């Protein structure tokens, strides 16, 4: 029963969409076709290597490299969008896969010494693949730098995808608590600001949960635009947003809290039905306490907005 259930669940689960490489959605088929062509050439010009001459250590190592290169290629196409970085990395992995495929077939088949194309393929494809992967990693580094700048004010010092809020793409309460604890361990001054809407539940009740989510997304973008570069914005819970302000004193924290509250007050959210929603906002702020646990400080701020 459990086996049949797992089989149905696996069969019904959608396969991940694979990014095209050089605009070709069937890039994986081309790689398999190239592997089949190389196998055909080996069978046409070689004789089978006797079983007694099989080197199992080389077979496992080189065959494992072929399998892993194929897995990396699939994972890369399933996790990245199309683009120059994806093209370079996929082409490099494909070249390395084909080179290792030639090397693996050498363990099973013997080619005449007059045949040199297998040595050329093996000697050229793997270095070419490594060169393409290196170029891809270089451009990936530049891409990562740009993406990090875009994530400014959303994450700080470390990245943890499990602490990401699915609606606003901000860190959650646990991520904020970890950042506050980090500031406490480093014995630095900081301030905390909590923001939220009044009567937010009415939006979900009258316009639906999807519209309430869209309002939260709009609010998160607006707050990000109004924060200093070193600040961190997280979604605490429901319509509550929390801001960590490193190195901020009381007067600056109070002023920024009022500015952010005013920005939310002027947020005019247009629903899909064409209605304009404008909710009053609330704010609370406090200086970070060095000895009090981070989650207790955040909870105390949230209660001040209740």
Phi, psi (5° rounding) for residue 212? -65, -40
Contact 287, 250 (CB under 8 A): yes
Angle between helices 117-150 and 27-45 (to 10 degrees): 160
Q: Which residues of the chain are modeled with pLDDT < 70? A: 1-16, 114, 146-163
**Predicted confidence (pLDDT) per residue in 44-78, tens digit:** 777 777 777 778 787 888 888 889 999 999 999 98
CA distances from 155 to 106, 127, 135, 140, 231 (A): 50, 37, 28, 19, 9
Phi, psi (5° rounding) for residue 239? -100, 15
- Supply the pLDDT for residue 18: 83
The span from the CA of 304 to the CA of 200, in Å, is: 16
- Supply the pLDDT for residue 114: 67
- pTM beyond 0.75: the answer is no
The span from the CA of 282 to the CA of 305, in Å, is: 7
């Amino acid at each position: 029963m459990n086996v049949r259930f797992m089989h149905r669940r696996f069969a019904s689960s959608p396969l991940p969409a694979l990014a095209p490489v050089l605009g070709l959605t069937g890039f994986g088929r081309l790689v398999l076709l190239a592997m089949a062509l190389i196998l055909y050439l080996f069978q046409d010009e070689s004789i089978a290597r006797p079983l007694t001459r099989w080197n199992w250590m080389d077979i496992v190592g080189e065959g494992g490299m072929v399998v892993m290169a194929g897995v990396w290629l699939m994972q890369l196409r399933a996790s990245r969008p199309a683009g120059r970085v994806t093209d370079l990395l996929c082409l490099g992995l494909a070249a390395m896969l084909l080179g290792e495929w030639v090397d693996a077939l050498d363990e099973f088949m013997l080619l005449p010494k007059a045949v040199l194309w297998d040595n050329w393929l093996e000697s050229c494809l793997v270095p070419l693949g490594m060169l393409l992967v290196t170029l891809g990693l270089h451009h990936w580094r530049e891409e990562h730098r740009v993406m990090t700048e875009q994530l400014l004010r959303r994450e700080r010092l470390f990245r943890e995808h499990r602490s990401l809020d699915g609606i606003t793409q901000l860190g959650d309460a646990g991520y904020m608590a970890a950042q506050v604890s980090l500031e406490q361990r480093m014995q630095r001054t900081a301030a905390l600001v909590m923001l939220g809407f009044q009567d937010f539940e009415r939006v979900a009740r009258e316009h639906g949960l999807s519209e309430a989510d869209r309002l939260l997304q709009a609010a998160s973008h607006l707050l990000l635009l109004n924060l200093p570069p070193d600040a961190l914005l997280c979604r605490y819970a429901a319509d509550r947003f929390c801001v960590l302000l490193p190195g901020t004193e009381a007067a600056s924290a109070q002023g920024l809290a009022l500015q952010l509250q005013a920005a939310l007050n002027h947020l005019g959210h247009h629903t899909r039905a064409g209605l304009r929603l404008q909710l009053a906002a609330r704010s609370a702020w406090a200086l970070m306490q060095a000895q009090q646990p981070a989650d207790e400080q955040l909870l105390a701020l949230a209660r001040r907005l209740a």
